[in-house]
């Protein structure tokens, strides 16, 4: 056999393997789709049965003798409800027009004053800093830690974090904290970039620090897209932030589970960044955020196009105020510059760069590991826009191991809700009072935590909410995911998005830009469906304006149907069937979308492109170090194992005890620890960064050199009286009595006492010199 024959046979074998791989992939996808479809049909069938059972009793009790009367009552009620329903939609349209004419101010439920207007900065931005004025009966202490809320700029306006009395703002105010809010105007300033916004928010923190010189550094709360903005702010200004709490914030856009995270496939199926560039060009350099709102709405067509409107119709007598309150925010459509939306799409939505450490802001590399303050992540299993994997996987990508988190002195706390949806994470009053209240209550004490990864666990007790911080590992976060097998496919999408953008810029962009004028851009914005939908049902439409008078007459002579009317029950069954059908088609469409994405991007040639992109990124990023001891910072810390005094000794003892009991921390113990480490000598003289550094260093020593850490404890505290005081301090925190200490921690405490007893001691130098 010639060499040519060998090469030919090798090539044939390679082609055959590719074909076999493709067949296997197709079979796997078909099986997944089949299983997904069966699950969808089963789920929605069960839902339909449950919904029907709610009205079954009424339908079974139908009386033929009164059926005619029931129909007349129902028909009259249905017509009247229809008038009231149209009038509420008319009010929504009028509210939208009035809100737009007023410049679309934030929809806060609280009075406020503008502290800094971003238009006055050296690099003008459309962002401003507001101070929330406490409502009557609420007293704020300016020496307490300020809270700063950054709302999402994802098509809507600002204010949702404080749209209700019981909200993130309300919880912070009622706890006595000064509260600030970062808002934005509808249109960006010319030339504004994400880097300019981040710089402006850093200046906002400077202003807050000047107003509260005696207070700890502020907590920055970021909702949804405001979450990654908060993380950008904290990594760029690590010395200015005291803690970052992000809610429903997507930082790992490639992450998710097969069959459960359909939105992440949109970029690959929609042409990457090119649609955003086209939209920006049609808007004369400005991107219309209403398209983002439409994307969100398409995630749940059953609710968007039917349920929320049917619910309004069915409860037209009572639902109007709640509907209009929410629509005031939902109907505010804001804009971005092309540079802003392009960075968001390329570095976040499609590129997934921020969560993997290869993102740039201007000319500056952004590494979320530069964040020096505690990070609190709030996610929910019921969130189909930001599932837990997208909220948490950046921790896996950036740190790689729990040991790396500890070595860097970082404290990351996460909480995973079981059912709440995306908006409910930062809108629901129930969630605000429970989960956000728990975060607010523990934020001061979290600074006393040893570095590491924790889960905030909430348990409802008879008299109060029990809060504890349970130690977790990177593997606990990985368990939420189904592996990273799709990373190469998403990396291929990112690469082709870059190539598509280059092709568009060389070919179509010059033509489109030459045709666009300010007038055409304005008409383009006005023609967006969300705006047309609201304007068409407002008093600007002469066919709609008369509805106000008709609705007033209906309210004066209302004939509401009885709840047990059988036709009203049939109406509910019919409505549930429509919602069920829409959601079923949505789920099948999501399964087909996933099937199409994997069929395109999970092929050998796409895998080759994706793997090359991943290799290119690996050379750009500072991957987590495998050998922690090789880090210069760790070496320096371990070199000081026998250096320190009473403060270092007490903290080391506390870390030993926490490690012995498994690391779990109840709120009461955390509060005692925070009080001792901030209000008693010698800790009360330490600055917040110095205290955090002390805890960090002692944690590294105990983690990496536990034996030497124990043996050198007597070197830190030489005087026997001080050793006894250190033990008493540790007991007061871990107990607060010796009998209440965890058995494993008590064994460790006795070992520490034995080490003190066996070690030689010396009296303080000052006393010896005096004698």
Q: Taking the CB of residue 428, how many other CB atoms lie within 10 A of it?
A: 19
Banded pLDDT at 765 (limits 50, 70, 90): very low
pLDDT at 416 over 80: yes
What is the C-alpha to C-alpha distance for residues 186 and 655, in angstroms, rounded to an integer?
49
DSSP-assigned letter for residue 348: I
Residue-wise pLDDT tens digits, 542-586: 999 999 999 999 999 999 998 888 888 889 888 988 988 888 888
pLDDT at 522 over 70: yes
Helix (H) or strand (E) holding 587: helix 566-601
What's the whole-number mean pLDDT along residues 75-91? 96
pLDDT at 39 over 90: no
Q: Are residues 354 and 218 in the same domain?
A: yes
Q: How far does CA 192 lie from the centroid of its chain?
A: 24
Tokens of 27: 């079979």
pLDDT of amino acid 258: 78
Residue recorded with tokens 């034996």: 707
What is the C-alpha to C-alpha distance for residues 37 and 586, in angstroms, rounded to an integer?
11
Q: Which residues of 229-265 are buried (b: 16+ CB within 10 A; e: fewer)?
A: bbbbbbbbbeebbbbbbbbbbbbbbbbbebbebbbbb
What is the C-alpha to C-alpha distance for residues 518 and 290, in angstroms, rounded to an integer?
18
Banded pLDDT at 58 (limits 50, 70, 90): low
pLDDT of amino acid 764: 46
Q: Are residues 251 and 392 in the same domain?
A: yes
- Count the helix, strand and coil residues of the chain and give each as a percent rounded to the nearest 5: 60, 10, 30
Q: What is the mean pLDDT of the chain?
A: 87
Q: Are residues 633 and 621 in the same domain?
A: no
What is the C-alpha to C-alpha distance for residues 6 and 17, in angstroms, rounded to an integer?
16
What is the C-alpha to C-alpha distance for residues 360 and 728, in angstroms, rounded to an integer?
49
CA dihedral defined by 634, 637, 642, 647, rounded to 10 degrees? -130
Q: Which CATH number does the domain housing residue 156 bear?
A: 3.40.50.1820
Dihedrals φ, ψ of 178, to 5°? -60, 140
Nearest CA-CA partner of 691 in 675, 677, 705: 677
Dihedrals φ, ψ of 186, to 5°? -60, -45
Nearest CA-CA partner of 392 in 404, 375, 406, 374: 375
Among the ranges given (182-191, 205-214, 599-608), the one the predictor scored with the smallest mean pLDDT: 599-608
What is the C-alpha to C-alpha distance for residues 622 and 632, in angstroms, rounded to an integer?
15
Query: HEC states along 472-540?
Result: ECHHHHHCCCCCCCCHHHHHHHHHHHHHHHHHHHHCHHHHHHHHCCHHHHHHHHHCCHHHHHHHHCCCC
Percentage of the chain exceeding pLDDT 90: 57
- Asked if the structure places residue 97 within a domain, the reply is no
Dihedrals φ, ψ of 767, to 5°? -70, -45
Which is higher by pLDDT, 635 or 448?
A: 635
Domain count, the chain: 3
Banded pLDDT at 327 (limits 50, 70, 90): very high
Q: Are 206 and 129 in contact (CB under 8 A)?
A: no
Q: Which residues of 621-649 are buried (b: 16+ CB within 10 A; e: fewer)?
A: beebbeebeeeeebeebbeebeebebbbb
- Asked if the structure places residue 388 within a domain, the reply is yes
Q: Are residues 461 and 604 in the same domain?
A: no
Q: Are 394 and 474 in contact (CB under 8 A)?
A: no
Q: Are residues 353 and 416 in the same domain?
A: yes
Q: Are residues 356 and 250 in the same domain?
A: yes
pLDDT of amino acid 768: 40
Dihedrals φ, ψ of 413, to 5°? -120, 130
Q: Are residues 380 and 466 in the same domain?
A: yes
Q: Are residues 16 and 162 in the same domain?
A: no
- Asked if the structure places residue 597 within a domain, the reply is yes
What is the C-alpha to C-alpha distance for residues 131 and 134, in angstroms, rounded to an integer?
9
Tokens of 453: 């990864």
What is the C-alpha to C-alpha distance for residues 706 and 709, in angstroms, rounded to an integer?
5
Q: Are residues 469 and 606 in the same domain?
A: no
pLDDT of amino acid 763: 47
Residue recorded with tokens 């409910």: 424
- Asked if the structure places residue 63 within a domain, the reply is no
pLDDT of amino acid 17: 58
Q: Are residues 119 and 147 in the same domain?
A: yes
Give how far Cα 433 sits from Cα of 165, 326, 374, 428, 587, Å: 10, 19, 21, 9, 33
Tokens of 466: 């029990």
Banded pLDDT at 620 (limits 50, 70, 90): low
What is the C-alpha to C-alpha distance for residues 577 and 49, in angstroms, rounded to an integer?
10
Domain boundary among 434, 465, 494: 494
What's the whole-number mean pLDDT along residues 377-388? 91
Among the ranges given (296-300, 375-379, 550-554), the one the predictor scored with the smallest mean pLDDT: 296-300
- Asked if the structure places residue 506 within a domain, the reply is no
User: DSSP assignment of 379-410, as one string?
Assistant: EETT-SSS-HHHHHHHHHHHH-SHHHHHHTT-
- Asked if the structure places residue 514 within a domain, the reply is no
What is the C-alpha to C-alpha distance for residues 64 and 610, in angstroms, rounded to an integer?
68
- Asked if the structure places residue 235 within a domain, the reply is yes
User: DSSP assignment of 156-214, as one string?
Assistant: S-S-GGGSSSSSHHHHHHHTT--EEEEEE-SSPPTT--HHHHHHHHHHHHHHHHHH-TT
pLDDT at 761 over 70: no
Q: For strand 465-472 and strand 452-460, is the pairing parallel, antiparallel, or unpaired?
A: antiparallel
pLDDT at 8 over 60: no
What is the C-alpha to C-alpha distance for residues 287 and 274, in angstroms, rounded to an integer?
12
Q: Are residues 753 and 676 in the same domain?
A: yes
Q: Are residues 617 and 637 in the same domain?
A: no
- Asked if the structure places residue 200 within a domain, the reply is yes
Print the domain residue range for 348. Answer: 112-257+341-494
pLDDT of amino acid 707: 92
Nearest CA-CA partner of 111 in 87, 140, 153: 140
What's the whole-number mean pLDDT along residues 444-473? 84
């Amino acid at each position: 056999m010639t060499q040519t024959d060998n090469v030919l046979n090798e090539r044939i074998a390679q082609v055959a393997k590719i074909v076999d791989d493709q067949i296997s992939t197709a079979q796997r996808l078909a099986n997944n789709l089949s299983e997904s479809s069966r699950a969808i049909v089963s789920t929605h069938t069960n839902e339909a049965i449950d919904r029907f059972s709610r009205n079954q009793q009424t339908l079974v009790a139908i009386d033929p003798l009164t059926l005619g009367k029931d129909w007349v009552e129902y028909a009259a009620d249905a017509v009247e409800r229809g008038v009231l329903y149209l009038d509420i939609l008319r009010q929504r349209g009028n509210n939208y027009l009035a809100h737009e004419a007023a410049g679309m101010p934030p929809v806060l439920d609280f009075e406020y004053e503008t502290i800094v207007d971003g238009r006055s900065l050296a690099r003008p931005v459309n962002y401003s800093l507001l101070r929330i004025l406490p409502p009557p009966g609420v007293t704020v202490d300016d020496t307490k830690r300020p809270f700063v809320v950054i709302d999402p700029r994802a098509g809507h306006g600002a204010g949702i974090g404080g749209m209700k009395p019981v909200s993130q703002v309300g919880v912070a105010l009622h706890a006595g904290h000064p509260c600030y809010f970062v808002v934005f105007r509808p249109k960006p300033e010319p030339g504004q970039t994400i880097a300019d916004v981040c710089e402006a928010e850093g200046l906002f923190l400077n202003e807050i620090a000047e107003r509260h010189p005696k207070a700890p550094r502020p907590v920055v709360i970021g909702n949804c897209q405001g979450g990654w903005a908060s993380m950008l702010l904290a990594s760029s200004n690590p010395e200015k932030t005291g803690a970052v709490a992000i809610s429903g914030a997507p930082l790992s856009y490639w992450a998710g589970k097969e069959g459960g995270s359909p939105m992440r496939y949109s970029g690959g199926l929609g042409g990457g960044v090119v649609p955003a560039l086209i939209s920006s060009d049609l808007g004369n350099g400005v991107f219309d955020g209403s398209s983002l709102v439409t994307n969100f709405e398409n995630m749940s067509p059953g609710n968007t196009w039917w349920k929320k409107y049917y619910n309004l119709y069915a409860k037209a007598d009572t639902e109007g105020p709640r509907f209009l309150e929410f629509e005031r925010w939902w109907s505010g459509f804001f804009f971005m510059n092309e540079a802003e939306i392009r960075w968001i799409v390329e570095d976040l939505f499609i590129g997934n760069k921020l969560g993997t450490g290869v993102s740039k802001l201007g000319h500056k590399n952004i590494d979320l590991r530069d964040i020096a303050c505690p990070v609190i992540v709030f996610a929910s299993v019921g969130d189909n826009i930001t599932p837990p994997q997208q909220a948490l996987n950046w921790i896996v990508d950036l740190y790689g191991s729990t040991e790396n988190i500890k070595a860097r002195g970082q404290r990351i706390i996460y909480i995973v809700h079981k059912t709440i949806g995306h908006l409910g994470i930062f809108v629901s009053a129930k969630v605000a009072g429970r989960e956000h209240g728990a975060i607010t209550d523990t934020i001061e004490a979290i600074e006393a935590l040893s570095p590491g990864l924790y889960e905030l666990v909430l348990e409802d007790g008879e008299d109060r909410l029990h809060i504890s911080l349970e130690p977790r590992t990177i593997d606990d976060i990985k368990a939420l995911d189904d592996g990273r097998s799709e990373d190469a496919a998403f990396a291929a999408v990112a690469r082709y998005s870059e190539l598509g953008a280059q092709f568009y810029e060389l070919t179509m962009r010059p033509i489109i830009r030459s045709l666009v004028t300010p007038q055409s851009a304005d008409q383009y914005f006005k023609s967006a469906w969300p705006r047309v939908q609201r304007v068409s049902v407002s008093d600007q439409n002469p066919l709609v304006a008369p509805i106000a008078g008709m609705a007033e007459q209906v309210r004066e002579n209302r004939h509401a149907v009885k709840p047990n009317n059988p036709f009203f029950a049939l109406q509910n069954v019919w409505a549930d069937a429509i919602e069920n059908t829409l959601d079923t088609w949505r789920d099948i469409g999501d399964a087909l979308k996933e099937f199409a994405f994997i069929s395109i991007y999970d092929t050998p040639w796409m895998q080759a492109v994706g793997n090359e992109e991943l290799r290119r990124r690996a050379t750009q990023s500072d991957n987590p170090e495998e050998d922690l001891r090789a880090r210069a910072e760790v070496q320096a810390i371990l070199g000081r194992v026998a250096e320190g005094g009473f403060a270092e000794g007490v903290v080391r003892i506390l870390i030993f005890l926490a490690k012995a009991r498994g690391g779990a921390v109840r709120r009461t113990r955390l509060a005692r620890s925070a009080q001792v480490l901030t209000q008693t000598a010698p800790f009360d003289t330490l600055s917040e960064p110095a205290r955090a550094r002390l805890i960090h260093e002692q944690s590294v020593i105990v983690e990496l050199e536990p034996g030497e850490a124990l043996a050198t404890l007597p070197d830190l505290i030489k005087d026997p009286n001080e050793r006894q005081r250190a033990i008493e301090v540790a007991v007061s925190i871990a107990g607060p009595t010796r009998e209440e200490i965890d058995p494993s921690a008590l064994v460790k405490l006795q070992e520490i006492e034995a080490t003190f007893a066996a070690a030689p001691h010396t009296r303080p130098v000052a006393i010896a010199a005096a004698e």
